Structure 1
Amino acid sequence: MRTNKILPLALLGALVLAGCSDSSETAAVSSAAPADKKITVGFSVYDMQYEFFQKMAKGTQDAVAAKGWEIKLHDEKSDENEMVTGASALIDQGVDLLIISPFKPTALGPIIAKAKAKNVPVIVNDIGGGGTPYDAIVISDNAGGGKLAAEFMDKQIQANGSKSKNVASITCEPSATYAARRNAGFKAEIEARGYKVVAELSGNSKAEEGYKVMKDILSKNPDVAGVFSCNDPMGVAAGNAIKDAGKSPVTDIVTVGFNADPEALTAIKADLLSATVAQDPAAMGGLTVTLGEQALNKQPIAFSNAAEREVFNPVALIDKTNVGSVG
């Protein structure tokens, strides 16, 4: 269904535990922290130079403050060694709960082992868990976002009057396993609506490669009616490639990205991108604190995907009708 108005994403994040679980367990929500001491949360964050992680940190800090807890923030600065040494230092400093958005998920092993040895629950926020025994991982509903993109694209292609049923999909780098769910969700839904994905190429998450991939798609499939991109830098770049080819990335080829980055919101307003799918890193941060409290209190967590201990945070579609409400 096309989204003309969206709920505040922070509200959606608060609803996730009640609405997206495939587990038969129901989380018993408690706002009471253990009474014997003040809880200290350690948050090791991927890289604070990026707006996405700044918002994630703000959501985490606000949720911790609302509970009267304390927080120690560590910036990994996109460095594996900094991630391992810094997160380990937080555990050594006696934090009661560790939240981590890991630069290198495959290097989480010693961190998780150290935390478990000291009975410190670990909640992972985004990126990946590296196959380690964390207590829970929060990720955006990537497959659901791909489905939203397909639903929007179908309606816009019809509104544009296009007769073509050919669309394309630009993927992120192969190692981005969670992000790959976006394209998988898109493909499943768009094919269910009678379209054919005539090209599915990787832009390796980079704008310049997204531009080149889109030019290649246009040269081989000039009648393509829509393109979905795994992230916004590639989506905006694809829109620029379409414009440079003398077509509109809105009325000729429906162009949809993912993330709701500032550049994408600007492009939507300028008719250089049809839509994007918004993640909510602040709500994700708040959700990790909620899950951390449940882990501390030995309460069951309602997982969206119990096998991988995943909890999905909702996403929302942003187009010209509601882009003004996103800031």
Structure 2
Amino acid sequence: MSTKKILSLALLGTLALAGCTDSSETTAGSAAPSANKKITVGFSVYDMQFEFFQKMAKGTQDAAAAKGWEVKLHDEKSDENEMVTGASALIDQGVDLLIISPFKPTALGPIIAKAKAKNVPVIVDDIGGGGAPYDAIVISDNAGGGKLAAEFMDKQIQANGSKSKNVASITCEPSATYAARRNAGFKAEIETRGYKVVAELSGNSKAEEGYKVMKDILSKNPDVAGVFACNDPMGVAAANAIKDAGKSPLTDIVTVGFNADPEALTAIKSDKLSATIAQDPTAMGALTVKLGEQALNKQPIEFSNAPEREVFNPVTLVDKTNVDSIN
């Protein structure tokens, strides 16, 4: 047999072997994973000492388990260095997907750059994205929650028979950009209902400052008919300031918080707070797994706010009528 024929047969054999190769056998992470491959999820969470993040972790783990996926959990413990080193370690361990609830969003850059270099999708859960090129970020519908608070407040002020159209708004710390949407949503809706926000002050997300701010509001605007606080520690503290001023945080000044923290639920049950807006961290965790699967499979993600790659999770108003149903 001629050398030319031998080379031709060898080439045909090589092509035949190539045609039999499984197309899913590509460079790790460079294409949609094989249906038979077990997915490993790295979840770096803000701080597991807080109930909010415990619920978020459970939602993430349960949703992943339902798909037969493994979850490697890393606790950042409210520490920037721990966040960066721990999340980077998850990537080094070869996770297929990284979900992160960042303690320091502005420090996400190196983490996401490392993940992208290894073709690992990144889904951010709450807190913020720091301007980094994540695949998607899940956040509560903060502006929608503020609107719910305004709708409730209007209804209750009318039920109380108050003639005042003056209300107040207590904001979180200036760096909490997503939380600021709560007060913006509240203000936009309450003003369309004919009210005036006579005071909009920051309590820096702290209960003690929320108390002081509410006392200041009362001294300058004694006829205020309602107050919305950006979080529950400030909301409960504002309600305490109202009580200490000899007024009711239900019938005199409708007081609404945000988060559905245990202290707020207890206050609502004992008529010491009008209402709060409940986030659902369990559902948020489950949603990140769903989005992560779409990213792994190269499927388009439907964003609530496409320019920022945001996906909103619904919120719920909680008052005396439904507080017992909140876990």
| TM-score where L is the length of structure 2 | 0.90
Distance across 1 between alignment mates of 2:256 and 2:212: 17
Residue in 1 that maps onto 2:229: 229
Deviations 1:6-65 (A, max 9, x none): xxxxxxxxxxxxxxxxxxxxxxxxxx9731410000000000000000000000000010
Residue in 1 that maps onto 2:130: 130
Residue in 2 that maps onto 1:243: 243
Matches within 5 A, 1:264-275: 264-275=264-275
Residue in 2 that maps onto 1:39: 39
Considering only CA atoms, is the larger Rg found in Structure 1 or Structure 2?
A: 2
- Are the equivalent residues in 2 in contact too, given 1:33–1:293 (CA < 8 A)? no
- In the alignment, structure 2 segments of 5+ residues that lack a partner are 1-31
Residue in 1 that maps onto 2:70: 70
Matches within 5 A, 1:24-103: 34-103=34-103
Distance across 2 between alignment mates of 1:120 and 1:65: 19
Deviations 1:99-148 (A, max 9, x none): 00000000000000000000000000000000000000000000000000
Secondary structure of residue in 2 paired with 1:255:
strand
Deviations 1:246-298 (A, max 9, x none): 00000000000000000000000111100000000000000000000000000
Residue in 2 that maps onto 1:183: 183
Residue in 2 that maps onto 1:25: none
Distance across 1 between alignment mates of 2:73 and 2:176: 25
Secondary structure of residue in 1 paired with 2:312:
strand
Residue in 2 that maps onto 1:215: 215
**1:94 is aligned with what amino acid?**
G
Secondary structure of residue in 2 paired with 1:247:
coil
Residue in 2 that maps onto 1:324: 324
- Residues 1:270 and 1:84: Cα distance change in structure 2 (over 3 Å): same
Distance across 2 between alignment mates of 1:206 and 1:62: 32
Residue in 1 that maps onto 2:194: 194
Residue in 1 that maps onto 2:294: 294
Distance across 1 between alignment mates of 2:33 and 2:246: 59
Distance across 2 between alignment mates of 1:254 and 1:42: 43
**1:275 is aligned with what amino acid?**
A
Residue in 1 that maps onto 2:149: 149
**2:166 is aligned with what amino acid?**
N
Deviations 1:157-187 (A, max 9, x none): 0000000000000000000000000000000
Secondary structure of residue in 1 paired with 2:178:
helix
Residue in 2 that maps onto 1:256: 256
Distance across 1 between alignment mates of 2:324 and 2:45: 29
Secondary structure of residue in 1 paired with 2:288:
helix
**1:211 is aligned with what amino acid?**
Y
- Are the equivalent residues in 2 in contact too, given 1:173–1:205 (CA < 8 A)? yes
Q: RMSD of the TM alignment (CA)?
A: 0.9
Distance across 2 between alignment mates of 1:35 and 1:300: 19
Secondary structure of residue in 1 paired with 2:218:
helix
Distance across 2 between alignment mates of 1:183 and 1:149: 10
- Are the equivalent residues in 2 in contact too, given 1:47–1:75 (CA < 8 A)? yes
Residue in 1 that maps onto 2:140: 140
- Are the equivalent residues in 2 in contact too, given 1:121–1:135 (CA < 8 A)? yes
Residue in 1 that maps onto 2:309: 309
Residue in 2 that maps onto 1:285: 285
Distance across 2 between alignment mates of 1:294 and 1:275: 36
- In the alignment, structure 1 segments of 5+ residues that lack a partner are 1-31
Report 1 or 2 for greater relative contact order, CA contacts < 8 Å, sequence distance ≥ 6.
1
Secondary structure of residue in 2 paired with 1:163:
coil
Aligned residues: 296
Secondary structure of residue in 1 paired with 2:291:
helix
Secondary structure of residue in 1 paired with 2:257:
strand
Residue in 2 that maps onto 1:27: none
Distance across 1 between alignment mates of 2:271 and 2:237: 13
- How far the C-alpha of 1:191 sits from its partner, in A, is 0.3
**2:171 is aligned with what amino acid?**
T
- Are the equivalent residues in 2 in contact too, given 1:172–1:179 (CA < 8 A)? yes
Distance across 1 between alignment mates of 2:299 and 2:266: 43
Residue in 1 that maps onto 2:12: none
Residue in 2 that maps onto 1:13: none
Distance across 1 between alignment mates of 2:211 and 2:74: 35
| TM-score where L is the length of structure 1 | 0.90
Residue in 2 that maps onto 1:170: 170
Q: What stretches of structure 1 move > 6 A for 4+ residues in a row?
A: none
Distance across 1 between alignment mates of 2:98 and 2:88: 10
